[in-house]
Structure 1
Amino acid sequence: MIYFDNSATTKPYKEVLDSFVTVSNEFFGNPSSLHRFGVQAEKLLTQAREQIAMLLEVKSSEIYFTSGGTEGNNIAIKGAALMHKSKGRHLITTNVEHASVRSAMEQLKQEGFEITFLPVDKNGRVQVADVEKAIRKDTTVISIMHVNNEVGAVQPIEEIGNMLKKYPNILFHVDAVQAIGKVPQSLNENRVDLCSFSAHKFHGLKGTGVLFIRDGVRLLPLFSGGNQERKIRSGTENVAGFVAMAKALRMTLSKSEQGMGRMREIQQILREGLNRIEGLQIHTPVENSAPHIMNFSLQGVKSEVLIHALEDKGIFVSTTSACSSKRKSPSKTLLAMGVSESLADSAIRISLSFNNTIDEAKAFIATVEATVKHLRKVLN
Structure 2
Amino acid sequence: MARHRGADKGGVIYLDYQATTPLAPEAFAAMEPWLKDGFWNPHSAHAGGRKAAAAVEVARDQIAALLPKGGKLIFTSGATEALNLAIKGCGLPVAALSTEHAAVLDCVAYLGGAVVPVGTDGRAGFDGAGQGLFAAMLVNNEIGTIQPVADLAEQCHIQGGLLLCDAVQAFGRMPIPDGPDMIAVSAHKIHGPKGIGALWVRDGIELTPLMHGGGQEQGLRSGTLSPALCAGFGAAAQLAAQRMEQDDAHVALLWDHAIAAFSDWTVNGSTIHRYKGNLNIRRDGVDVGRLMSECRNIAFSAGSACASGSGRPSHVLSALGLSQTQAKSSIRLGFGRYTTLAEIDIAAEAINRAAGAML
2:9 alignment counterpart:
none
Read off the aligned partner of 2:42 and give its amino acid letter. Answer: P
Shift of 1:26: 2.5
1:16 alignment counterpart:
27
Read off the aligned partner of 1:198 and give its amino acid letter. Answer: S
Secondary structure, aligned partner of 1:211: strand
Q: Contact 1:182 / 1:292 at 8 angstroms: preserved in 2?
A: no
Can you list the C-alpha shifts for 1:355-377, whole angstroms capped at 9, x where unaligned? 1122222222222222223344x
Read off the aligned partner of 1:172 and give its amino acid letter. Answer: L
Can you list the C-alpha shifts for 1:152-175, whole angstroms capped at 9, x where unaligned? 1111112112323423x4121000
Normalising by the residue count of structure 1, what TM-score does the alignment of the two structures yield? 0.88
RMSD value, Cα: 1.5
2:149 alignment counterpart:
157
- Which ranges of structure 1 fall in alignment gaps of 5 or more residues? 85-89, 110-114
1:34 alignment counterpart:
45
CA distance in 2, matches of 1:120, 1:55: 28
Residue 7, structure 1, aligned to residue 18, structure 2? yes
Secondary structure, aligned partner of 1:348: strand
Q: How does 1:305-344 map to 2 (within 5 A)?
A: 305-311=290-296, 314-344=297-327
Residue 211, structure 1, aligned to residue 209, structure 2? no
Q: 2:215 aligns with which of 227, 237, 247?
A: 227
**Structure with higher helix content:** 1
Can you list the C-alpha shifts for 1:135-165, whole angstroms capped at 9, x where unaligned? 33xx321111111110111111121123234
1:367 alignment counterpart:
350
Q: 1:123 aligns with which of 121, 124, 127?
A: 121
Can you list the C-alpha shifts for 1:320-377, whole angstroms capped at 9, x where unaligned? 111001110001111110111101012210011111122222222222222223344x
Shift of 1:57: 4.6
Residue 70, structure 1, aligned to residue 70, structure 2? no
Q: 1:99 aligns with which of 99, 102, 105?
A: 102
CA distance in 2, matches of 1:208, 1:197: 9
Secondary structure, aligned partner of 1:161: helix
Shift of 1:131: 3.0
1:87 alignment counterpart:
none
Q: 1:262 aligns with which of 246, 250, 275?
A: 250
CA distance in 2, matches of 1:359, 1:284: 26
CA distance in 2, matches of 1:364, 1:259: 21
CA distance in 1, matches of 2:175, 2:65: 15
Read off the aligned partner of 2:122 and give its amino acid letter. Answer: G
CA distance in 2, matches of 1:200, 1:248: 9
Q: How does 1:240-251 map to 2 (within 5 A)?
A: 240-251=228-239
The 1:140–1:165 alpha-carbon spacing in structure 2 relative to 1, beyond 3 Å, is closer
CA distance in 1, matches of 2:247, 2:258: 16
Secondary structure, aligned partner of 1:174: strand
Can you list the C-alpha shifts for 1:289-329, whole angstroms capped at 9, x where unaligned? 11110111222222221122111xx2110111110011100
Read off the aligned partner of 2:205 and give its amino acid letter. Answer: V
Secondary structure, aligned partner of 2:138: coil
Can you list the C-alpha shifts for 1:111-136, whole angstroms capped at 9, x where unaligned? xxxx2211111101112xx332xx33
CA distance in 2, matches of 1:55, 1:183: 9
Can you list the C-alpha shifts for 1:198-240, whole angstroms capped at 9, x where unaligned? 1000000000111101111101100011100011111111111
Secondary structure, aligned partner of 1:16: helix
Q: Contact 1:284 / 1:293 at 8 angstroms: preserved in 2?
A: no
CA distance in 2, matches of 1:353, 1:69: 20
CA distance in 2, matches of 1:341, 1:316: 23
Q: Contact 1:182 / 1:291 at 8 angstroms: preserved in 2?
A: no
Q: Contact 2:165 / 2:184 at 8 angstroms: preserved in 1?
A: yes
Q: Contact 2:182 / 2:199 at 8 angstroms: preserved in 1?
A: yes
The aligned length equals 348
CA distance in 2, matches of 1:243, 1:33: 18
Q: Contact 2:139 / 2:147 at 8 angstroms: preserved in 1?
A: yes
Q: Contact 1:173 / 1:194 at 8 angstroms: preserved in 2?
A: yes
Residue 181, structure 1, aligned to residue 169, structure 2? no
CA distance in 1, matches of 2:199, 2:235: 17
Q: How does 1:46-65 map to 2 (within 5 A)?
A: 46-58=57-69, 62-65=72-75
- Which ranges of structure 2 fall in alignment gaps of 5 or more residues? 1-11
Residue 298, structure 1, aligned to residue 289, structure 2? no
CA distance in 1, matches of 2:299, 2:151: 36
Q: Contact 2:120 / 2:269 at 8 angstroms: preserved in 1?
A: no
Read off the aligned partner of 2:41 and give its amino acid letter. Answer: N
CA distance in 2, matches of 1:241, 1:307: 33
CA distance in 2, matches of 1:257, 1:66: 28
Residue 282, structure 1, aligned to residue 267, structure 2? yes
Read off the aligned partner of 1:106 and give its amino acid letter. Answer: A
Q: 2:335 aligns with which of 338, 348, 352?
A: 352
